[in-house]
């Protein structure tokens, strides 16, 4: 049944979260708890992933027997991330199924222990709240966003009859499994398309992509024309250029496959001009000849992105050296090892642009079709040839101008190059179109999950049954959650409870209760308006303590528009000032 106009389906009721389950924040991690008599495994926000719990890295700290009784986990508990640097990640939820024995949890986690809600239905509601941004909208914080146990407990919870909860949870589980299986198939298809692109590139540069007519087109199988063009370009004697009488410059042993009849091996710098771009330095930031230039951030595989182009000064003498021309190929000189040498052709996207020394420019000579050279370089990227010659760290590898220019280049006759380029472009275009469709489907999956979760919590996923016990009667029958008043036992100074070794803690003055802090007094002392984060810090609050974030916003709410006012517009970037005529 639909919930148009915010009307709940028959038999449902809307109640606070803490009416259908017990809400409790975990225990704070502190140095004095790192070791102790009662070492206990505990979970933290890092253990809650979008796909569920990740227990590969579970830490330990000391939890006394009294603390364990309150903070231990049991099957059916829902665990939610209390804080995150991003509001979109706050409230990420997972179900605990007793994966570990005697496990507790830290105060970066909120535990929801179901009472009138089935665990899997409650998990569905909380996943919907996270995915739809409800948790993000109620989160508060300065730098770190906190959901807050009390704010979470006050949220409204759509509660169906208990039998309908089970039907909803079962339907959600089945359909989520189908969506995720579809995601697995789509990602597998994407991987296959990637492998197909690599196969096309490999076939293109090895002479296996097109079959030339037997005997070849005019000049297609005769290397003399190609040799003459290279000789003309290089200006060196042919005997010095090629080592063998067949006119073949052999590649490094095992680097590449033998070439077809009519093809030759050459060095990259024998078939085109290779140049490193101009170095960027402070003295080039200003000048009379400011021009746009491309850098690594602009060069992707077979694509140049001009949405973020920088400028620097190129003198009239430098400009002809570094200006880009139609057909130039740019390669990432410095990149991650997997992406070093990533190439794209400059197709005059930005006329008059130059290039930086984070890029290498290859300008094809008369013996090479630039489009064929791009296929070769894309193959070298995907086959790992560029990575093999690169030098650097695990994060940044450098192709190296000299290493790149001395790499072998498989050179067919120009007629065959044109045929290869035509065939490769057609096949790659088909693979790209299929890839775009696959990516669009993958991008749609989160939206499908959100639609499923929204339908589930609106009562639109499964039909209502008139003989189900209404949720209101269920609440009356079950009463309040049993753990609503449970608290950690207080241990007086000098006393011990049986089996416990709880040491009393003294509260440092700086960590005293923040409920009495007057934010207006802090502003008066500063004698100027303060941005919210600065006011938070000057008032002595700790952003990593959820309870202190909560106290700050309570204090802010109590004083806002009474003794202080907001001058900014955004909630987290507000500027606050004292109301001068306030008492």
The predicted structure's pLDDT at residue 566: 81
Identify whether residues 245 and 148 lie together within a single domain. no
Identify whether residues 150 and 248 lie together within a single domain. no
The residue among 534, 496, 435, 505 whose CA lies nearest residue 189 is 435
CATH code (residue 533) = 1.10.10.10
- Taking the C-alpha atoms of residue 266 and residue 242, their distance in angstroms, rounded to an integer, is 8
347-367 residue pLDDT tens: 999 999 999 999 999 999 999
The residues with which 219 forms a beta bridge, in sequence order, are none
Token pair recorded at residue 37: 């008599």
Token pair recorded at residue 375: 């296929």
Model confidence at 84, in pLDDT bands (50, 70, 90)? Answer: confident
Residue in the structure block whose two tokens are 């000849």: 289
Determine the average pLDDT of the residues in 319-324: 96
R_g of the chain computed on alpha carbons: 34
State how beta strands 290-294 and 354-355 pair: parallel
Does 573 score more than 80 pLDDT? no
Q: What is the mean pLDDT of the chain?
A: 84
- Taking the C-alpha atoms of residue 255 and residue 258, their distance in angstroms, rounded to an integer, is 10
- Looking at per-residue confidence, does 246 or 322 come out higher? 322
380 occurs within a structural domain:
yes
The residue among 241, 247, 246, 244 whose CA lies nearest residue 270 is 241
Identify whether residues 72 and 152 lie together within a single domain. yes
185-194 residue pLDDT tens: 999 999 999 9
- Among residues 108, 139, 160, the one where a domain terminates is 160
Question: How many Cβ atoms sit within 10 Å of the Cβ of residue 326?
Answer: 11
61 occurs within a structural domain:
yes
Identify whether residues 121 and 251 lie together within a single domain. no
Beta carbons of 141 and 543 less than 8 angstroms apart? yes
Identify whether residues 148 and 229 lie together within a single domain. no
- Among residues 412, 439, 457, the one where a domain terminates is 412
DSSP 8-state secondary structure symbol assigned to residue 466: T
- Taking the C-alpha atoms of residue 49 and residue 558, their distance in angstroms, rounded to an integer, is 36
Token pair recorded at residue 147: 């959901």
Over pLDDT 90: what percentage of the chain?
62
Comparing 146-155, 198-207, 238-247, 521-530, the range with the smallest average pLDDT is 238-247
- Looking at per-residue confidence, does 172 or 483 come out higher? 172
* Coil vs helix vs strand at 310: strand
Beta carbons of 121 and 127 less than 8 angstroms apart? no
Cβ within 8 Å of residue 257, ≥6 positions away:
206
Beta carbons of 466 and 163 less than 8 angstroms apart? no
- Taking the C-alpha atoms of residue 575 and residue 562, their distance in angstroms, rounded to an integer, is 16
Token pair recorded at residue 193: 């398309």
The predicted structure's pLDDT at residue 95: 97
- Domain assignment of residue 536, given as a range: 509-578
51-65 residue pLDDT tens: 899 999 999 999 999
Looking from the CA of 211 toward its CB, the CA atoms found within 13 Å total 2
Model confidence at 583, in pLDDT bands (50, 70, 90)? Answer: low
The residue among 323, 316, 268, 272 whose CA lies nearest residue 293 is 323
CATH code (residue 338) = 3.90.220.20
460 occurs within a structural domain:
no
Identify whether residues 256 and 391 lie together within a single domain. yes
Question: How many Cβ atoms sit within 10 Å of the Cβ of residue 242?
Answer: 21
Model confidence at 215, in pLDDT bands (50, 70, 90)? Answer: low
Token pair recorded at residue 422: 């035509």
Identify whether residues 131 and 232 lie together within a single domain. no
Determine the average pLDDT of the residues in 152-163: 96
- Taking the C-alpha atoms of residue 508 and residue 236, their distance in angstroms, rounded to an integer, is 83
* Coil vs helix vs strand at 219: coil
547 occurs within a structural domain:
yes
408-421 residue pLDDT tens: 999 999 999 999 99
- Taking the C-alpha atoms of residue 432 and residue 204, their distance in angstroms, rounded to an integer, is 17
Identify whether residues 153 and 229 lie together within a single domain. no
State how beta strands 290-294 and 310-313 pair: antiparallel
Looking from the CA of 30 toward its CB, the CA atoms found within 13 Å total 7
6 occurs within a structural domain:
no
- Taking the C-alpha atoms of residue 10 and residue 28, their distance in angstroms, rounded to an integer, is 42
120 occurs within a structural domain:
yes
DSSP 8-state secondary structure symbol assigned to residue 122: H
- Among residues 368, 392, 412, the one where a domain terminates is 412
Identify whether residues 403 and 534 lie together within a single domain. no
179 occurs within a structural domain:
no
CA-based angle 92:98:103, to the nearest 5? 80
Beta carbons of 31 and 122 less than 8 angstroms apart? no
Beta carbons of 392 and 337 less than 8 angstroms apart? yes
E-state strands within 250-358: 264-267, 272-276, 290-294, 299-300, 303-304, 310-313, 329-332, 334-335, 343-345, 354-355
Identify whether residues 252 and 148 lie together within a single domain. no
The residues with which 356 forms a beta bridge, in sequence order, are 278
Identify whether residues 268 and 378 lie together within a single domain. yes
Beta carbons of 294 and 323 less than 8 angstroms apart? no
Residue in the structure block whose two tokens are 């008369």: 366
- Taking the C-alpha atoms of residue 323 and residue 311, their distance in angstroms, rounded to an integer, is 13
Identify whether residues 242 and 381 lie together within a single domain. yes
Q: Cα(first)–Cα(last) distance of the chain, in Å?
A: 54
253-298 residue pLDDT tens: 444 567 888 899 999 999 999 999 999 888 888 888 999 999 999 9
Residue in the structure block whose two tokens are 């300008």: 363
Chain centroid offset of residue 514 CA = 36
The count of residues in the chain is: 583
The predicted structure's pLDDT at residue 281: 83
- Taking the C-alpha atoms of residue 435 and residue 148, their distance in angstroms, rounded to an integer, is 42
The residue among 136, 146, 74 whose CA lies nearest residue 110 is 146
Q: Name the domain count of the chain.
A: 3
469-524 residue pLDDT tens: 999 999 999 988 876 433 334 433 343 433 333 333 333 334 434 456 788 888 88
Beta carbons of 291 and 311 less than 8 angstroms apart? yes
The residue among 537, 286, 287, 270 whose CA lies nearest residue 404 is 270
Cβ within 8 Å of residue 204, ≥6 positions away:
372, 375, 379, 420, 421, 423, 424
- Taking the C-alpha atoms of residue 434 and residue 197, their distance in angstroms, rounded to an integer, is 11
* Coil vs helix vs strand at 149: helix
- Taking the C-alpha atoms of residue 458 and residue 438, their distance in angstroms, rounded to an integer, is 30
Looking from the CA of 41 toward its CB, the CA atoms found within 13 Å total 12
Token pair recorded at residue 521: 């007094």
Token pair recorded at residue 79: 């665990």
- Looking at per-residue confidence, does 536 or 23 come out higher? 23
The residue among 208, 121, 203, 183 whose CA lies nearest residue 158 is 121
516 occurs within a structural domain:
yes
């Amino acid at each position: 049944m639909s919930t148009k106009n915010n009307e709940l389906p028959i038999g449902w009721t809307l109640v606070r979260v803490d009416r259908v389950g017990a809400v409790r924040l975990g225990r704070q991690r502190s140095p004095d708890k790192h070791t102790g008599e009662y070492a206990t495994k505990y979970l933290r926000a890092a253990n809650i992933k979008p796909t569920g719990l990740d227990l590969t890295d579970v830490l330990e700290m000391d939890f006394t027997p009294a603390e364990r009784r309150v903070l231990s986990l049991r099957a059916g508990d829902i665990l939610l991330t209390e804080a995150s640097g991003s509001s979109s990640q706050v409230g990420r939820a997972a179900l605990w199924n007793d994966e570990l024995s005697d496990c507790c949890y830290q105060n970066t986690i909120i535990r929801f222990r179901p009472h009138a809600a089935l665990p899997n239905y409650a998990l569905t509601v909380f996943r919907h709240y996270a995915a739809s941004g409800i948790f993000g909208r109620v989160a508060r914080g300065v730098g770190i966003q906190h959901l807050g146990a009390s704010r979470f407990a006050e949220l409204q919870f759509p509660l169906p009859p208990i039998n309908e909860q089970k039907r909803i949870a079962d339907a959600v589980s089945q359909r989520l499994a189908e969506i995720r299986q579809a995601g697995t198939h789509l990602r597998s298809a994407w991987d296959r398309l990637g492998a197909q692109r690599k196969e096309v590139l490999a076939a293109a540069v090895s002479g296996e992509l097109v079959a030339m007519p037997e005997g070849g087109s005019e000049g297609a199988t005769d290397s003399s024309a190609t040799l003459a063009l290279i000789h003309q370009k290089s200006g060196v004697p042919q005997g010095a250029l090629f080592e063998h009488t067949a006119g073949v410059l052999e590649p490094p042993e095992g680097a590449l496959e033998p070439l077809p009849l009519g093809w030759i091996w050459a060095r990259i710098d024998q078939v085109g001009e290779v140049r490193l771009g101009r170095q960027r330095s402070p003295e080039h930031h200003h000048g009379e000849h400011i021009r746009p230039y491309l850098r690594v951030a602009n060069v992707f595989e077979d694509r140049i992105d001009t949405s973020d182009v920088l400028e620097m000064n190129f003198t009239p003498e430098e400009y002809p050296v570094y200006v880009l021309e139609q057909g130039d190929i740019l390669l990432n000189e410095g990149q991650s090892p997997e992406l070093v040498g990533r190439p794209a052709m400059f197709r005059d996207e930005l006329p008059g642009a130059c290039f930086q020394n984070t890029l290498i420019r290859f300008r094809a000579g008369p013996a090479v079709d630039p489009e064929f050279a791009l296929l070769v370089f894309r193959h070298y990227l995907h086959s790992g040839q560029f990575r093999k010659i690169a030098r650097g760290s695990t994060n940044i590898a450098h192709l190296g101008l000299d290493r790149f220019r001395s790499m072998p280049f498989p050179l067919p006759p120009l007629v065959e190059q044109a045929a290869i380029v035509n065939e490769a472009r057609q096949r790659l275009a088909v693979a790209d179109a299929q890839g775009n469709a696959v990516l669009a489907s993958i991008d749609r999956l989160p939206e499908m999950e959100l639609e499923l979760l929204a339908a589930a919590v609106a009562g639109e996923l499964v039909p209502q049954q008139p003989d189900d016990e209404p949720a209101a009667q269920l609440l009356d029958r079950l009463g309040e959650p049993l753990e609503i008043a449970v608290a950690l036992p207080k241990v007086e100074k000098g006393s011990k409870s049986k089996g416990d070794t709880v040491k009393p803690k003294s509260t440092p003055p700086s960590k005293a209760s923040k409920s009495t802090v007057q934010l207006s007094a802090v502003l008066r002392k500063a004698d100027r308006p303060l941005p919210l984060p600065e006011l938070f810090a000057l008032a002595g609050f700790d952003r990593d303590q959820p309870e202190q974030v909560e106290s700050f916003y309570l204090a802010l709410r109590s004083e806002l528009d009474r003794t202080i006012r907001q001058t900014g517009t955004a909630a987290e970037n507000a500027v606050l000032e004292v109301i001068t005529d306030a008492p």
